[in-house]
Amino acid sequence: MYLSPREFACSKLFGNVSDGLHTVNIKKGKTITDRVIKNNQVATQNFVLNLPNVISSIRVALVPVLVLLVIQNQAYIFLWILAFSLCTDGIDGYLARRLNQVTEFGIRLDSWADLITYTVMLFALIRLWPEIFESESNYLVIAFSSWIVPLLVCQSRFSCFPSYHTLAAKIAAVSLAPAYFVAVIWGDALMFRWVLMFYLWVALEQVIITAILPRWQGNISGFWAAAAIARSDSEHQGNAE
């Protein structure tokens, strides 16, 4: 195809302008992307800007309110606020993964929030629904032991809270809320018993994970994930030697 000198000059001129604009757009896009990544890193490291940690802190802050309501025998309001607190338990973990704001502090904070919330739930059973507590006391002892034993084992090996957030633990946590409400409102504790017994497996798996892991790590989906981490670490050490 033949171009006149004028057409050739125009094509070169506008071609260079187009290439220049394309380069500017690429640089601008990269700048925006870098800015977003940097802002997310700042938010992750800053407690106030880390939304999942703020939500977990709200759950911790609600504990004294729940205790006060139990002491004042305000069962109806207690259940409403408890329901809100238990809902935030699932939200903070989801947002942490979604926003890529998972931190070691956040993992531990979530576990502590769970522990003290469950303790308040037990206190409420003793104070507000003593008949449920008495009838389910054996199952509650089993569940309480299943929370304490993994903690002691992990403390002895890694000097920290387990905070594994396994799939089994998530299933148990999600099931515990409706089971608790059905037991205290309608007096049907069958589901509550099954959930408490399921915590035996949750505890056993956490002990297995603690024994398998070469070093502490949070957010382990199950014992198979811990085994994969241990195997990978062993292979890495073998290659290094």
Per-residue pLDDT tens digits for 161-200:
898 999 999 999 999 999 999 999 999 999 999 999 999 9
Residue 122, pLDDT > 80, answer: yes
Residue 63 lies in a domain: yes
- DSSP conformation letters of the chain: ----HHHHHHHHHHHHHHHHHHHHHHHHHHHHHHHHHHHHHHHHH-TTT-HHHHHHHHHHHHHHHHHHHHHTT-HHHHHHHHHHHHHHHHHHHHHHHHTT---HHHHHHHHHHHHHHHHHHHHHHHHH-HHHHHHTHHHHHHHHHHHHHHHHHHHHHHSS------HHHHHHHHHHHHHHHHHHHH---HHHHHHHHHHHHHHHHHHHHHHH-SS--S----HHHHHHHHHHHHHHHHHH-
Q: Are residues 144 and 207 in the same domain?
A: yes
pLDDT band at 46 (very low <50, low <70, confident <90, very high): low
Query: What pLDDT does residue 37 have?
Result: 36
Higher pLDDT, 49 or 7: 49
Same domain membership, residue 86 and residue 159: no
Residue at 148 is within a domain? yes
Domain C-terminal end among 103, 128, 153: 128
Place of tokens 């799939």: 167
Task: Identify whether residues 156 and 97 lie together within a single domain.
Answer: no
Q: Specify whether 155 is located in the same domain as 233.
A: yes
Q: Is residue 136 part of a domain?
A: yes
Domains of the chain: total: 2
Q: Which of 110, 128, 146 is the last residue before a domain boundary? A: 128
Mean pLDDT of the region 105-118? 89
Residue 29 has pLDDT above 50, yes or no: no
Arithmetic mean of pLDDT over the chain: 82
The pLDDT of residue 48: 54
- Claim to verify: residue 166 and residue 154 sit in the same structural domain: yes
Among the candidates 67, 101, 128, a domain finishes at: 128
Task: Based on the fold, state whether residues 137 and 235 are members of the same structural domain.
Answer: yes
Q: What is the pLDDT of residues 58-109, one digit of tens each?
A: 999 999 999 999 999 999 999 999 999 999 887 887 888 888 888 888 888 8
Regarding whether 177 and 97 lie in a shared domain, the answer is no
Residues 65 and 85 grouped into a single domain: yes
**Would the pLDDT of 159 be above 70?**
yes
Q: Is residue 74 part of a domain?
A: yes
